[in-house]
């Protein structure tokens, strides 16, 4: 028993469980807020669980919400491994969707499978382009990627609003006074297959397959090794012959490309058109930001991001059910989501600090150890 316990690294175990502890802490604060609102926290969280897991349709809806979170999260895993921060998932989703819907509306007579493949490639390129721009600004001009990706979000929103109120507006809406900002609907053949009668579509299988591919990319390929090496120590990577600037651009390009794929899935799997209320959230549902939290919850590991995305999808679906059943204000749902984000991000910062302290402690211990005596010294 003692030998088994000695093999357990309790520090690493605590690090792995920190996001879970953080989520429970956020829910505990949410329970206090529910009490202030006059609601029963146990009944409220029971309604959340019922809404997210209580039926086959609820599980399917949870999986639907998890798809864009997973795809954005995979891009975040790549970017963070290169030690760059991508806050531009919202804009990259929008650009991916714009590129993809353009393909579908431009090729109405093409076979469905061909248009879907081209749309996926177009969304990958569109999101990748929107991620590569701040990547190049970071690598070659030293521009902070947090600021640049946020600004790219703002540009993408205005571009979407212009296109959906002008060149790409649905012709039927153009003749009406309301002029809802949306494109024409995709042809039936261009829509991803669904698991009837739910809204769960083929994008779920596609996203999980990509998670496996991202794992292979990061830990089984030369490109992944270079990205991780640059994230660990850019100076050592440069001395080792790795072109650091190129890897930074590639990391943000790939990160944006996966967010772009999330936009494609929203259009071809759910809405069948590009539609918004004038804000990014009107199309993305904040998946560009929530995907960051899902990746952090999954310890920035592609495979860990799969259950993390499903969990956050459950929170989103459950929160909607909570609002309907308990009649709590919509502001509480926003506050609860914000609490989870703050606590999970804070837990990741604490985890990184603990890891740095362990490395420093291990280094100092190694330096203090006296050198081993040679065989000649021992015999004398």
Supply the DSSP string of 45-114, one letter for each residue.
Answer: HHHHHHHHHSSHHHHHHHHHHHHHHHHHHHHHHHHHHTT-----HHHHHHHHHHHHHHHHHH-TTS-HHH
Q: Do residues 264 and 104 touch, judged by C-beta distance below 8 A? A: no
Q: Do residues 15 and 300 touch, judged by C-beta distance below 8 A? A: no
Write out the H or E segment, with its range, that includes residue 220. Answer: helix 203-220
Q: What percent of the chain has a predicted confidence (pLDDT) above 70?
A: 93
336-349 per-position pLDDT tens digit: 888 888 898 888 88
148-183 per-position pLDDT tens digit: 999 999 999 999 999 999 999 998 887 776 678 999
pLDDT at 359: 76
- The single-letter DSSP state of residue 193 is P
Rounded to two decimals, the pTM is 0.90
Distance between terminal CA atoms of the chain? Answer: 43
Q: Where do the domains of the chain lie?
A: 66-304
64-104 per-position pLDDT tens digit: 999 999 999 999 999 999 999 999 999 999 999 999 999 99
In angstroms and rounded to an integer, the radius of gyration of the C-alpha atoms of the chain is 24
> Helices 244-265 and 287-297, interaxial angle, to 10°?
120
Per-residue pLDDT for 7 more than 70? no
Q: Which residues contact 169 (CB under 8 A, 6 or more apart)?
A: 163, 179, 181, 182, 183
């Amino acid at each position: 028993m003692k030998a088994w316990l000695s093999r357990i690294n309790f520090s690493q175990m605590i690090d792995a469980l920190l996001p879970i502890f953080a989520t429970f802490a956020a829910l505990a604060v949410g329970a206090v807020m529910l009490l202030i609102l006059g609601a029963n926290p146990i009944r409220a969280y029971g309604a959340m669980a019922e809404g997210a897991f209580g039926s086959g349709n609820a599980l399917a809806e949870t999986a639907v919400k998890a798809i864009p979170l997973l795809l954005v999260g995979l891009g975040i895993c790549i970017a963070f491994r290169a030690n760059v921060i991508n806050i531009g998932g919202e804009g990259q989703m929008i650009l991916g969707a714009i590129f993809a819907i353009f393909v579908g509306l431009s090729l109405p007579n093409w076979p469905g499978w061909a248009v879907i493949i081209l749309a996926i490639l177009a969304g990958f390129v569109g999101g990748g382009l929107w991620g590569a721009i701040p990547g190049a600004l970071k690598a070659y001009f030293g521009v902070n990627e947090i600021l640049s990706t946020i600004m790219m979000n703002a540009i993408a929103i205005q571009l979407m609003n212009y296109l959906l109120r002008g060149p790409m507006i649905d012709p039927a809406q153009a003749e009406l006074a309301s002029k809802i900002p949306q494109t024409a609907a995709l042809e039936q053949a261009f829509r991803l297959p669904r698991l009837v009668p739910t809204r769960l579509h083929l994008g779920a299988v596609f996203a999980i397959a990509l998670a496996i591919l991202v794992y292979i990319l990061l830990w089984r390929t030369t490109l992944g090794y270079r990205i991780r090496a640059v994230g660990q120590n850019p100076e050592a990577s440069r001395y080792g012959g790795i072109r650091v600037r190129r890897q930074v651009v590639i990391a943000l390009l790939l990160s944006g490309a996966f967010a772009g794929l999330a936009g494609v899935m929203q259009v071809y799997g759910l809405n069948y058109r590009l539609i918004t209320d004038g804000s990014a959230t009107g199309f993305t549902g904040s998946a560009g930001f929530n995907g960051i939290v899902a990746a952090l919850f999954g310890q920035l590991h592609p495979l860990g991001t799969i259950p993390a995305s499903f969990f956050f999808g459950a929170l989103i679906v459950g929160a909607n059910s909570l609002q309907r059943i308990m009649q709590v204000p919509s502001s509480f749902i926003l506050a609860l989501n914000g609490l989870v984000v703050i606590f999970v991000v804070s837990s990741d910062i604490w985890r990184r600090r603990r890891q740095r302290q362990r490395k420093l402690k291990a280094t100092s211990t190694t330096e203090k150890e006296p050198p081993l005596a040679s065989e000649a010294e021992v015999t004398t």
